[in-house]
Amino acid sequence: MARIVSLDVGHSNTRVMTVDGIESFPSLASESFISPEEVESPTYGRELPYRLCQPSHWLVGDLAKEQRGAEPSTAPDWPLTESYRALVRTALSLATKSFHIQLFIFQSLPAQSMAFKEDVEAFLLGKHLIEVRGKKTQTIEVLGVKTVPQGVGAFFSHHISEDGRVTGQTPGKVAVIDIGSRTCSFVGMNGFHVLEDELVSLDLGVWIVEEATRAWLDRKNPGLCKDITRAELMDYIVTGKMPYKNGDLDLSPLVDPIKKRLAEQIITQAKSMWGFAYDREVVVTGGGSLLLDGHFSQAYEHAVVLGEDAALMGNVTGQYRIGLLGARSR
């Protein structure tokens, strides 16, 4: 029997969900030119995860950053690149321990990349021979693919239960605002159906706040941010303070005006599409929603800003649940 898999390759993290749970790793990949001698070395691949070995050699996740300086991509055609495909293959390998398996994939793409949906689905369909270092070669056959814009999955997770049942009434008109690390997606829906003419993506994300904060800290104290990860810095930005010398450094005088300008830009776009959205449900999700929560509750009093788990894992969770819903209806 084919297994349902949910796949969410975001600009920051790649997540894959099955009945066994969620696997996640940074969306970083770099082609790895490895000699036959290195492959045979007893130390090869010891620093897992992840080293993709078949169909070609790639470093994936933190290794790609540490050893090759890989950076996230924000280009609309990113899903057509080999680096994106390396992330997908690694995720599929992590989705199962089986050596031969058939899958139905429910995936999301950045809204700006939905024009390439058919190309991405064509790549996924069919058989894949995949080897991640430390595992035997797997034959993974994809029988079907369903693709939605990122952010829609979080909406699904809000309305579909863990066992794939619609909770409450089927929703009417919906506005989904997905604030990611690099982009912000605006998706109009009618029930569980995406409205293609209400689909917009802007290069607005919480990286704007992070980069401004990091630059300011480096000017204040060169080298201060050298050992601070992106995740750690974002935690400091959310709380408005960070450890510094013998106390805490107040970040709010810098961060609050940047957050306000970012929120204003996002809200302006939303209002240009839906006005005050009195006729629809408004769902705000993505990692950036945790940072800008207060601004949206002022602009849209009826907006539902999803909590941390749903904001970060909602896409992959909701896509899995819509797969279960589809399986129940067949």
The reply to whether 115 and 191 lie within a common domain is no
The reply to whether 134 and 171 lie within a common domain is no
Provide the token pair at 232: 């750690």
Whichever domain contains 96, its CATH number is 3.30.420.40
C-beta of residue 185 within 8 angstroms of C-beta of residue 151? yes
How do residues 252-266 score in pLDDT, each as one tens digit? 888 899 889 999 999
How do residues 136-183 score in pLDDT, each as one tens digit? 889 999 999 999 999 999 999 989 999 999 988 888 999 999 998 888
Beta-carbon contacts of residue 94 (< 8 Å; ≥ 6 apart) = 16, 23, 25, 50, 132
Q: What is the mean pLDDT of the chain?
A: 86
The reply to whether 115 and 228 lie within a common domain is no
Please give the pLDDT value at position 330. 66
With respect to residue 59, please indicate whether it lies within any of the assigned structural domains: yes
Strand order across the beta sheet in which 13-18 lies: 21-26, 13-18, 3-9, 100-109, 138-149, 126-132, 51-54, 58-60, 29-31
For residue 55, whether the previous peptide bond is cis, meaning omega lies within 30 degrees of 0, is: yes
The reply to whether 174 and 133 lie within a common domain is no
Please give the pLDDT value at position 314. 87
Mean pLDDT throughout 273-298?
87
pLDDT exceeds 50 at position 47: no
The reply to whether 132 and 248 lie within a common domain is no
With respect to residue 329, please indicate whether it lies within any of the assigned structural domains: no
Please give the pLDDT value at position 41. 46
Q: 């303070």: which residue's tokens?
A: 241
Nearest one of 330, 292, 309, 326 to 148, comparing CA atoms: 326
With respect to residue 273, please indicate whether it lies within any of the assigned structural domains: yes
The reply to whether 185 and 211 lie within a common domain is yes
With respect to residue 7, please indicate whether it lies within any of the assigned structural domains: yes
The reply to whether 124 and 191 lie within a common domain is no
The reply to whether 180 and 144 lie within a common domain is no
**Rounded Cα distance, 316 and 330, in Å:** 22
State which residues form the domain around 54.
Answer: 3-149
Please give the pLDDT value at position 34. 54
In the chain, the number of structural domains is 2
